[in-house]
Amino acid sequence: MKLVSDTIGRKDNPTEKDIRNAITYPDGEEGFCSEDIVRLQIGQNNYLVIWIGNKKTGHRLELIQKGNKAIECVSMFDSETAIHLMTSYLNGNIAWVKEYQWKKPIILEFLDNLERLRETRT
Instruction: Please report, for the chain, the start and end positions of each structural domain, with discontinuous segments joined by +.
Output: 2-121
Mean pLDDT, residues 28-50: 75
Q: What are phi and psi of 30, to 5 degrees?
A: -65, 145
Residue 79 binned pLDDT confidence (cut-offs 50, 70, 90): confident
- Cα separation, 20 vs 112, in Å, equals 35
- Cα of 22 vs its chain's centroid, Å: 12
- Cα separation, 42 vs 109, in Å, equals 25
The pLDDT, as a whole number, for residue 120 is: 86
Mean pLDDT, residues 10-36: 75
C-alpha distances (whole Å) from 47 to each of 26, 31, 57, 81 are 26, 25, 23, 17
In the chain, what's the furthest Cα-to-Cα distance?
Answer: 54
Residue 52 binned pLDDT confidence (cut-offs 50, 70, 90): confident
pTM score over 0.95: no
Name 30's bridge partners.
none
Q: What are phi and psi of 58, to 5 degrees?
A: 90, -175
Mean pLDDT, residues 59-83: 85
Better pLDDT: 111 or 72 = 72
Neighbours of 48 (CB within 10 A): 22
The pLDDT, as a whole number, for residue 68 is: 64
Question: In percent, how much of the chain has pLDDT > 70?
Answer: 86
